[in-house]
Structure 1
Amino acid sequence: GELYMNGRSCKITQRYLEFDGGVAYGIRCLMTPPSVGGHCDVLSFVDFPGDCGSCLITPVCPSGSRPKGEKIKCTYRNFFYADIDGCKQQCTFVMWKPKCCSNYFGKNCKACPGGPENPCNSHGVCNDQYTGTGKCNCSAGFIGKACELCVPGRWGPECTACDCSQNGVCDDGINGQGICLCNEGWTGDRCETQLAVKPVCSPPCSEDAICKGNNTCECKLYYEDKTVGVFHLRSKKGQYKFTYSEAQQQCKGEGAVLATYNQLAYAQQVGYHLCAAGWLDSQRVSYPTSYSNPNCGSGHVGIVDYGPRVNDSETWDTFCYRMKDVKCVCRKGYVGNGYSCNGNLLQVLTTIDKFSSFLTHLLNYSNTTLNGRRFVEVLTDLSVKGTLFVPVNSGLQENVTLSGRDIEYHFSNHTSFLYHKMENGTLILSKIGQTLLITVTKNTLPPSPEFNQQIGKLVNERPIVAWDIVASNGIIHAIDKPLQAPPEPVKPYAVHTEVGVGIFFVSALIIAALAVAVYYYYNHRRGPFSFQYFKNDEGEGVSTFDDSTPSRFSNPMYNKFTSSTDSGEDPFCDEHRLATDNDREQ
């Protein structure tokens, strides 16, 4: 498709022109930075004489100027008040003089209406330059801020004069075809011939249509465009014939009112395009354009606004607004009548102030747990059709805490239960697997202060104070107090499983310990011929032969028969004592 920029005022004609530094696009307009505008400032040289003084030391030119290089004879007065011949410099001062380029105007050098390349749409002269006002002096047959419109009774790009007779209406205007639409009973190119027999249509045509031959109704001129309630009306006398008060009366006669600027803007956004200015509410004049046309609003796309009009005697067409012409439809993911649309369950919760406390608990649950995030995803899933019971703020005090299990107990994701379908004894399976019991009360309970509706049904003995709040994926019913979920049941098989797992791990530890003990025994038991040296327990240093007890070298085969504490000699002892000096004496 075609691409535009700057509000569809500039068309992109070439795309993806690659070069070393990037990609270029070709456009069909000249883009001028607002800070630059159409400035064509010029340098101006101003000559002036300097001060007169001695020709030997001629006074210099003032700061900011420079001498031109020539001196002029002059007379100056010295300290004794005597006139003396002297010299002075011829100085020049360079000054920037602001000036606008052609077809630009004002101190900011803005472009003339219609653009600098096509000022006044080539149907007028722009008051340009630095002191200009930018106003277009339109040629004969043209009107408008940029000479973009035809005066009444003229049609086409050149505003050619219509030649219809008084028995018809000309399709005039800048976009008109110049065709004559004849009144009933008249025919011909100029509606100049009266029919011998006036055609009759059955059923009768609308007030805004004319009966033609073959029982055909043809809409009157300018009654075709209706967009989001906005439609255009033109006087039977021709284009731009309504004063402001007459425009109000014409809209009233159609069961409508003058359209506001915003209503016209909404119509423009959905494609309403009409190059004909008309009255709006608050005595304003505008018209909508949905695509760029150099002959319509200087190519501007949007609302061409002439602003509030001070002169009550001005005449224009009119834009009216009628509510019955509006057809609204909720977009995908929303439900409603088109004028009021609701989103999913979570979105509806956020829009009702009376549910803010429960919403806070829900969001805290979502922000702190994985199950909470999954539950919120269910509330926003459009494939789910559920029923949600929501406690009002007055029943959910600050000291009340709801667990995640309590919150999910308020929701059933199996079906949407409307209020009138919830009969006495109805069981609703909640998300946690526990049922909710609906009972119908015969006792008259006072209405809820939040919703002021008569209470007739309860869920788990909690009064339902408001009901059938529709969301795109379910139904919400308001209750006066929160529901408390029953405790989660203990599952016996879970205990047996835990005991079995414990026994398994204990057995495994015992077997591992026995294996380690056996391994240690076989790798560290003593061999049959190993020797062992026993060091004195007292840890004494080197001693003399007289003070020390003789050292022993024990045979390990007989260690079990000896003791270090026995004073007698064992007959089986294989020890060898070291000889002392006393032994030698004996």
Structure 2
Amino acid sequence: METGALSQTAPDLCAEYNGGCHVHADCNQTGLLVNCTCHSGYQGDGFSCQPINRCTEEPNGGCSDFASCSFTGPNERNCDCLPGYVGNGVQCLEEVEPPVDRCLENNGDCDPVAQCKDLHYHTKTGGVFHLRSPQGKYQMNFSQAKKACEDEGGALASFKQMGDAQQLGMHLCAAGWIEGAKVGYPIRFPSAKCGDNHVGVVLYRDPVDQSSRYDAYCYRLTDVSCSCPGDFVGNGDFCNGVLADVLATNSNFSIFYRFLLDYSSSSQNGKNLVEFLSQRNTDVTLFVPHNDGFTFNKTLTGRDLEYHISTNHSRRSFSELKHHDVIVSKIGFNLTVTHGNDQNTKLVNRRLLLDWDIPAVNGLIHVIEGPLTAPPPSVSHSSRRSHHSSSSAAAILVSVFVACVVGTVGYYVFKHKTNAFRFHYFRNEDEDGASNRVRPALVSIPNPLYDGSTALSPPAPESSQEEEPPAKPPQILDLDQ
């Protein structure tokens, strides 16, 4: 009974001054013993309790290395990203500069006439793109993801590049490999299902097993799209028009082009040639000598220039140039292709091809090491045939005329020899004694076919009428004409 009475009469030690415990401690009494426990957020033995300062108790209070930690109460703090960084303080990403459209400067390094589109600027991802395996979601280990990015002309994105993409607007709830064998994804809006309401780049805890399978986040620096207009040919990095324009804009062809302009300004044939190279329906192969192949005093005539051009509708690519192939030039003379065992070393008229398959709207250009010299002109087939025909006609006419003259003379002689034989007067023996008689006149019977056959006939009396002029003799073609 005394023990019970004693317990009932034991004083409440915690009632006064919290039992001697700290004001931020809990007092628990067991019999005459007092136990002091510091409140949450405080630390000490209970009799002395100090507020926990996370900014000093933890490295930077558990804030990002790019944040400042501010004590706000026991075991509480604020993390604020430093200037130039953005985030929630626990994760601070370097603030990305708003992308500048690279097409505004030098047309994005596209051809001047190409249409340039900066995908970094227009897609708002800073060059980062999400890549998934053709087999489906989460099918690539680390090495496969790295190769997949390389096959796309890029590389695995770095954490900073992922942060830039997230700030610019990239939001994907799909885990993917990034540089350093890390796995993460960019989140712009808090979601309990994605990143546990975390905003920024959600990273999986390191280290990640590199055989694990995820998607990939790749970065491609040269994400500028270049495309040529419809009336040009090329890949956007270059856009070529007609052959004349390509010659005018390529600095390696300036000497050949200068001769072409000189030819155009000095003759109608030259103007026609430039017009031919400017027509879109032309389709030729043009062998252009490189500037370095011209000697100091080398000049090209109009024929030389046209010798570098194939006949129309004869475009030949480099792969189509076979050994001993013949290409007819615009002046009609052949260009001969040769090469040895090396299919990449080809020559045209013993001029080495330095570059090839430069496209134009109306043909192909192959660059040769030096200029060609055209063979000397020869008589054209049409002129030769015309001259031959004229000569033949003249020869025939002369032959006919001579034959007629010879025939006429021969016939005349033959006829009159015969007439003289037939109608020659022979004296009889009886007449020998009659020598004193008057001899009859010899009579010539003229051939009616030859009015002029009067060799044996007496001269006709002169007529008072004028004779008709002789028929005009046949004209003989003057061979000198």
When the two structures are superposed, what TM-score results if normalisation uses the length of structure 1?
A: 0.30
The structure that is strand-richer by fraction is 1
Larger Rg: 2
Of structures 1 and 2, the one with the larger relative CO (CA 8 A, separation 6+) is: 2
When the two structures are superposed, what TM-score results if normalisation uses the length of structure 2?
A: 0.36
